[in-house]
Structure formats: structure tokens, C-alpha cells
Amino acid sequence: MADQGRTAGRARGGRRRAAGAVLAALLCAAACTAPGDRAPDTAARDIRATLERRAAAVLDHDPAAYAAVVDPDATALRAAQRREIGHLADVPIGSWTYRLTDLAAHGADRATADVRLGYRIKGYDSAPVSVDRVLALERDPADGRWYITADEAADGGGRQLWEQGDIEVVRGTHSLVLGVGRSREELDGIAATADRAVPDVSAAWPERWAGRVVVLVPDTVKDMAELLGSPAANYRGIAAVTTGETGGSGKAPADRVIVNPEAYAMLGAFGQSVVLTHETTHVATRTRTSAATPAWLSEGFADWAAYRDQERTADEIAPELAEAVRGGDVPAALPTDEDFGFAGDADRLARAYEGGWLACELIADHWGEAKLFAFYRAVGGHPGRDGAVEQALHEVLGTDPQDFTVRWREYLESRLG
């Protein structure tokens, strides 16, 4: 999931399955090939051994060993792999593992593997980040080992920061900033802002969380989009996004805040602070956010936390919605998830954020902050989207969607009219 950041002009912030059915392909390879061909369980075992050697090379910071599992004839890939592990030299990797999730044999000596890379940054990640890759491999009959001939992101996946260039590492008090192609001064500034955001979020969110954040700063918006596996046009006005998987298990993979350096740089100090506090709130609330949580609540709460102790008027925080309300165009309903789409109208996106913020502020003002926290937990804890908000409104706030919407519309008029 990629949580949305803010627009630049404001202070906001299936993997590809390997071809063929696995069991069918492997069993056919075992049953139909010549006596010298390997059985599928042996091939899988040997491919896992190749992946284990590769993982060990990363932990040992050994470029030669990392490249040694690549087919010697794939010279361009070997060179790229050497560069990539060199880019990771200063990153404090705590763990790096590969899990073979799918395998399709193409004869005795060629295979396509779906692989899940899991890596954890020491001191910052309580759970690993998961990355799906698709590898092509060939077996060398001379030594019996499998070698990688191609390595690419699974469908829907993005490039990794270490594929984009040498990673500069800045360690803050509560943050770790990893940048490519950006100045040390800029990265230091982002780390300082993130360090201030973390305690602000802890003050706004009552539950215990990691209390630290990892921020990625690619060189351009195009590089940002490549990390997210989406078109650059979707992010040109977005200062930052947060990635991570929602869920209440407490075992969700680690989040990353990804900064769009071009949009972020257009903001002043206040705007940058709001952006990183907003995104850090997503990190803190991750285990209480689920598929049942509507965007107006997750984004509105993140803005509520970011603006909670700021001396700004409602007009300053919600100028687009204020203009609409004063023009007699009071929204008839709370923002939908579609209203938060990156590729849509910028004014519609701004009004969606502002409407979500005011909905959360309404709850905090009328029912109290403790009820806002309870409402957020109750919605996220529901087994599905259907009925989640309705049940939480009834059980936590003692109201229903119709009454809440009326109150929200009246609140917009009282705060912005």
C-alpha cells in the first residue's frame, strides 16, 4: 500500500507468476527428460543454494561473491550486480534472505524462479521489507551449479534504491535517511525534520510503536516513481508517500517514507514538517490500519496529527475546501477513496485531504481525542470494509453515518464559512 502525501504547492504529503504451472512443469521435467536430467526437488535445492550464496555475499559486503552467482557469459548483468552491492556498502543491513516461492523448469538446465527478497535494516526495522523478483537461471553441466542470467522486478513491483545509485546514509536521532544523488546538506535537513516528527507523532498517537522512521530520497520524481512501480506523472505534485502493508498482526513489513525531492524542495520549513509528520503518522498507525479503513480516516488522521499542535487557522489548513464552502458548495458526503487518487484533479485531491482532516478534528472536538483513537482502532479492526465505519460510529461514537455526515457538513460551515 502507498499512502498519499501532500501536493507540492501545499503543506501536505500479482507479482508476475513464473510461466507455467509449477508442479506440472517440474513433474513433467522429472518424468519426461533424459536420465541425466535433474529431478525437480534437486533443482529447487540447488537453486536455493545459489540464492543462499548470494545472500551471504550481501551480508559479507563481498561484490565478487555476489556477482559470482551470475552466469559468466552475462557480463552486463555481472557488472550491474557488482555496482549494486557497492551501492549498499554504507547501509546497515541486519538480514538479507531469499525465499523461492515458485519455480518453472524449461528443460533440464533452465528455469524461471519467483523469489521473495526479505531485508531488514539493523536498528530500524522490526520486520523485513519484502520485495518480489523474477529470476532466470541456467545450470552449468560442468559444475552442476545454477547461475542467474536475468533479475527483474515482479509485475507491479518497482526498482530498489540501490539499483539507482550509490546510497548516502544519514543517521538521525529517530531517523535513517537513505539518499541517492542528493546533497549531504539536503539529506541532513530531511533527517532533522524527521527527528522532530517522530516525537510529535508519539504525542498524537497513544499506542506504542517503533518510534523511528526510514526515509528514502531518490534523485528525481522519475526515480521515485520507479521505486513505487508507477508512472512519474502520478507523483509530480506529491511531496512524499509511505509504503507498507496494512494489518493488525504486528508483523507487517517495515514502512518506508519516500520523498519526492522536487516537490518537497518547493515547500517551506512548515510544509516539510507537516509532510514528514503526516507520513510518520502512517508508520505509527500501520498495525491499526487495514483494508477496512477508508482513505478519509487514514489520511485525515495523519493530517490531524500533523496539524494538532500547529498554530494555523482552518482557512490556512483547508483553503480549497474553505473556498468551496463559502461559494455554497458544501460537500454532500465524506470523501471517497477515489477522491484521493494521485492521477486525478489536484483541487479534488486537496479537498479530499481537507475534508478528512476536518472529519477527524470533528471527532476529537466533539467526542474527545480518546474517542478518535478508539474509532480509528475499531474501524481498522473490522474484518472488512462493509459495515466497518457504520459499526464504529454506532459502538464508539453513538451515532450513525447519516447523523455523522450532517454534523460534518455543519462543522465545515462553522469552521470555514
The share of the chain scoring above pLDDT 70, in percent, equals 88
In the 8-state DSSP scheme, what is residue 233? G
Closest residue by Cα to residue 158 from 91, 220, 221, 230? 230
Rounded to an integer, the average pLDDT of 98-108 is 95
- Dump pLDDT digits (tens) for 322-381: 999 999 999 999 999 999 987 778 899 999 999 999 999 999 999 999 999 999 999 999
Residues 59, 323: Cα–Cα separation, whole Å: 55
- The whole-number pLDDT of residue 249 equals 43
- How many other C-beta atoms are found inside a 10 Å radius of the C-beta of residue 176? 22
- The whole-number pLDDT of residue 156 equals 83
- The whole-number pLDDT of residue 40 equals 62
Residues 176, 372: Cα–Cα separation, whole Å: 30
Is the separation of the CB atoms in 308 and 273 below 8 Å? no
Q: Which domains does the chain have, with CATH numbers?
A: 22-160 (3.10.450.50), 290-417 (no CATH)
- Dump pLDDT digits (tens) for 18-46: 333 333 333 333 323 333 344 467 999 99
Residues 180, 226: Cα–Cα separation, whole Å: 13
What stretch of H or E contains 151? Answer: strand 146-153
Question: Inter-axis angle of helices 346-366 and 295-307, to 10 degrees?
Answer: 70
Rounded to an integer, the average pLDDT of 219-232 is 94
Residues 277, 195: Cα–Cα separation, whole Å: 10
- Dump pLDDT digits (tens) for 381-390: 999 999 999 9
Q: Would the pLDDT of 191 be above 70? A: yes
Cα three-residue angle 292-296-302, rounded to 5 degrees: 100
CA 148 to chain centre: 28
- The whole-number pLDDT of residue 219 equals 97
